[in-house]
Structure 1
Amino acid sequence: MSTKKLFLLFIAFFVSLGWVHESEAAGLQALKLGVNDKLTGIEAVSVKDSYYVPLRDLAQELGWTLNGLSDGISVNAGGSSLKLLNDHATATLNNGSKVAMDTFLRGGKLMVPVRVSALLGYTISYVPEQYLLRVQNSAAKLNDAAFVSQYKKELQPMTGTGSQTPTTSGTTTPVNSGKPGTTVYMTFDDGPSATTTQLLDILAKYKVKATFFMLGPKMNTYPEQVKRTAKEGHGLGLHGMTHRKEKFYASPAAALGEMNNDNAILKKITGSGTSLIRPPYGSKPYFTNAFRDKVLTQGYHLWDWNVDSDDWKYKENSAKIYNTVMSQVHNLKKSQSNPIILMHDQKATLKVLPQILETLKKEGYHFEIITKDMQPHNFWKDYR
């Protein structure tokens, strides 16, 4: 047996015990992640010789509970828990101690090292020659040899993956493959409307995909526009039914009822619903913890924005809207944050939108839609 092979087996043994950080292993490739006795579709990607996976996907497979906090995300796995801090470099354990834990965003998903599972009591198996990367606990029935035997054909390096993310319409859209802060998310509230067709025409002309947070009654009025929005691969989101503070925010149950009714209309028109929501007037200050606990525990994901066009206020003053958007976009560039631009599905938007799209493209931005797999961006930093 060669020295290199002995070294890899040595490393694999200690990684499987959770004693060695994956970055100490060499020659990593993108692999499918095994979870207990299942080979999942989760792509474990190699970054700086360490394997990373999307936190939300891993949590779903292992039944973990995620809660957004002001200083990070708590991860609860039965009797064990930890907190991933917002610095993207540290985790706090149950006993209060801190450990290094690099995380980053990839295509809108929070990526965490596979070793986070070892800190929560799981065992990691890594055998590079057999392309095995597996997280398991006492629920696993197969040993590693049996697991490899069962999935031998599927245990191969993943090539050409990670370039696409599913959209709500079943099509695909490119994941940000450029530098941080080069992706922009155009979002439109309050539609559909009599001018949605023209709005979609503009987006098609510039080959831009956007995300629409729509109102239930308006979808009933303009069902063909909703169908076209879905067919052309735009993101679909919910904005409620009434857009009236005294009704939507009457109680947490009222807010959930509006989103459920809105979703039922979307399903009736397009055949599929969505988990993306944006409450009327944004989530602050009205969408408090009581509202979020009621609504988000039903599988919805809360999205706000970080660029407000104020197009509802400036109406036909296109120059003011344009300058308002671009000044905020340029401020975000300093922090390498991806702009999430709030606009409205209204006639006045049609006049200024082409200029905004042209400038953003000239400045090197590319456009993506919001999907359910992305880490939500909202004013409360609630990442459920």
Structure 2
Amino acid sequence: MLCVIVFILALGLVPGVLAAESGEMKLGINDSVTDIRAVSVGYTFYVPVRALADKLKLSLGGTPEDLMLSGDRGRIRILKEGKGIAGDGTEISLTVFKRGGKLMIPLKIVTLLGYSVSYKPVQYLLRITDGSQVLDDEAFAEKFKEMLKPEEPPQPAPSPSPAPNPPKPVASGKIVYLTFDDGPSATTGHLLDILDKHGAKATFFMLGPNIERYPSQVKRMVKSEHGLGLHGITHVKNKFYASPAAALKEMNQGNADLKAVSGRTTKLIRPPYGSKPYFTKAFRDKVLGSGYHLWDWNVDSLDWKYKSAGDLIYTNVVSQVNKLDKYGVNPVILMHDQKATLQVLPRILDYLHKKGYRYEIITSDLKPLNFWHDTR
């Protein structure tokens, strides 16, 4: 059972683990050790797609935004927008990134192409097999133990004595955007108290009926200079996405509700469930053509899923923030204005503070971040 758990973690199938880049392992294929180094990010191993294709003799075609990786046993499309499509049409969530100019893909992809993956961290073994191998994992690890063992990092030179009156460190300048959907609510006051205590600002994507129901909370957001955004009226897929005109009507109604309560309007929107796949070009042309700006997120707390499981929410946020930090990307964190989230929010804010982030609100002059890369 322990081996199964470790294997699942290695393939990145369990959410909520830390995603700082935590080292490399040499990749074995059948009965040999390759020169491919698999990079561990959040217990998910990533490898350069072109090197992997060469070693497994897979066909690699398409564009960087839409790659096709195929072999005798299967195929998969790798889309830059964060998903993959297996040969049977099944869509899967798939994170890819560039490292040293090379496109890195999760090693778990090979299981969709008919291969198996073995992971034995104690023996430094990470191995792809196709059934033609002669050595079992134990024999493989024993035969290649010297090759598989990671190199010892060079020891740093002794630090020189500090100079008198050393200069103060310069602020890192890292920015994080906290966003909360579905509010305001009966617990928004507590949420705002937590933000105030931590000196944090956030952007609230609110529902029209809730704006009318909790006007004092909206006024407090305005007074505290938090960001204001719209999330529609119904939050019902069949109603909001009934037509582009229906979506625009909900956003306009939400804006009218916001103005009636606070005297403010906004051009920032986040459609229900995020913009993919339902907020298609026809919707964007209609709504964004009316002057609205579309914002999704690049860190999903999954607080809507984990509810009161604060540890899972916390580690899920930390893993994604660390990954973005590695590549200098500012996090836009999706959370929800709900009681359960408030239990873990102080821990998240403490962590972001320790990492050197400062809080900013989303404004209309920023380049929108959304799943469609639509910058209107």
Query: TM-score, with normalisation over the residues of structure 1?
Result: 0.54
5+ residue gaps, structure 2, are 1-63, 66-169
**Partners of 1:262 and 1:236 in 2: CA distance:** 11
Answer whether contact 2:209 2:233 (CA < 8 A) is retained.
yes
Asked if 1:208 corresponds to 2:191, the answer is no
Instruction: Say which of 276, 287, 297 aligns to 1:284.
Output: 276
Match of 1:247 among 231, 239, 244: 239
Q: Does 1:312 align with 2:322?
A: no
- TM-superposed CA distance for 1:335, in Å, is 1.3
- State the SS of the aligned residue for 2:333: strand
Q: Pick one of 323, 342, 360 that aligns with 1:368.
A: 360
Alignment of 1:217-366 (within 5 A): 217-366=209-358
Counterpart of 1:332, as a letter, is L
Equivalents in 2 of 1:238, 1:295: separation in Å?
12
Cα deviation for residue 334 of structure 1 reads 1.5
Relative to the length of structure 2, the TM-score reads 0.55
- CA-to-aligned-CA distance 1:37-85 (integer Å, 9 cap, x gap): xxxxxxxxxxxxxxxxxxxxxxxxxxxxxxxxx99xxxxxxxxxxxxxx
Pairing 1:107-122 to 2, within 5 Å after superposition: none
Judge conservation of contact 2:227–2:361 (CA < 8 Å) in 1: yes
In structure 1, list runs of 5 or more residues that go unmatched: 1-69, 72-176
Match of 2:184 in 1: 192
8 Å Cα contact 2:172/2:356 also seen in 1: no
Measured in 2, the distance between the counterparts of 1:349 and 1:252 equals 32
**Counterpart residue type for residue 351 of structure 2:** T
**Partner Cα distance (1:349, 1:312) in 2:** 9
Deviation at 1:317, TM superposition (A): 0.3
Question: Which residue does the alignment assign to 1:121?
Answer: none
Change in Cα spacing, 1:178 to 1:282, as seen in structure 2 (3 Å) is: farther
Asked whether the 8 Å contact 2:202–2:360 carries over to 1, the reply is yes
- Summarize deviations over 1:344-375 as a string: whole Å, max 9, x none: 00000110000000011011111100000000
Cα deviations by residue, 1:282-315 (Å, 9 ceiling, x for unpaired): 0000000000000001110000000000001100
| 2:301 counterpart letter in structure 1 | S
2:118 aligned residue: none
* 1:373 aligned counterpart, secondary structure: coil
Mapped to 2, the partners of 1:289 and 1:335 lie a distance apart of 29
User: What per-residue deviation string (whole Å, max 9, x for no partner) do you get for residues 186-209 of structure 1?
Assistant: 000000000000000000000101
Deviation at 1:260, TM superposition (A): 0.1
1:333 deviation in Å? Answer: 1.0
Report the Cα distance in structure 1 between the residues aligned to 2:197 and 2:280, rounded to whole angstroms. 40
Shift of 1:178: 5.4
Q: Measure, in 1, the Cα distance between the counterparts of 2:335 and 2:192.
A: 14
Aligned-residue RMSD, C-alpha: 1.6
Q: Tell me, what secondary structure is at the counterpart of 2:182?
A: strand
Separation in 2 of the partners of 1:300 and 1:335? 29
Determine helix, strand or coil for the equivalent of 1:226: helix
Q: Supply the distance in 2 between the matched residues of 1:190 and 1:272 (Cα, whole angstroms).
A: 18
Aligned mates of 1:290, 1:334 — CA distance in 2: 35
What residue identity is the alignment partner of 2:308?
A: E
SS in 2 for 1:191: coil
Equivalent position amino acid for 1:223 in 2:
P
SS at match of 1:376: coil
Residue 179 of structure 1 and its aligned partner are, at CA, apart by 4.8
Aligned length: 210
**CA deviation digits over 1:244-294, x for unaligned, max 9?**
000000000000000000000001111110000000000000000000000
**Is the partner of 1:375 in helix, strand or coil?**
coil
CA-to-partner distance for each residue in 1:321-353, whole Å, 9 max, x for gaps?
000000000010121000000000000011000
| Cα deviation, residue 224, structure 1 | 0.5
- Secondary structure, in 3 states, of the residue corresponding to 1:192? coil
SS of 2:368 mapped into structure 1: coil
Q: Computing the radius of gyration over CA atoms, which structure comes out larger, 1 or 2?
A: 2
- d(CA) in 2 for partners of 1:201, 1:187: 16
* In structure 1, distance between residues paired with 2:352 and 2:221: 22
State how 1:18-97 maps to structure 2 within 5 Å.
none
Q: Given the superposition, is the C-alpha separation of residues 178 and 296 from structure 1 closer, same or farther in structure 2, using an over 3 Å criterion?
A: farther
Give the structure 1 partner of residue 175 of structure 2: 183
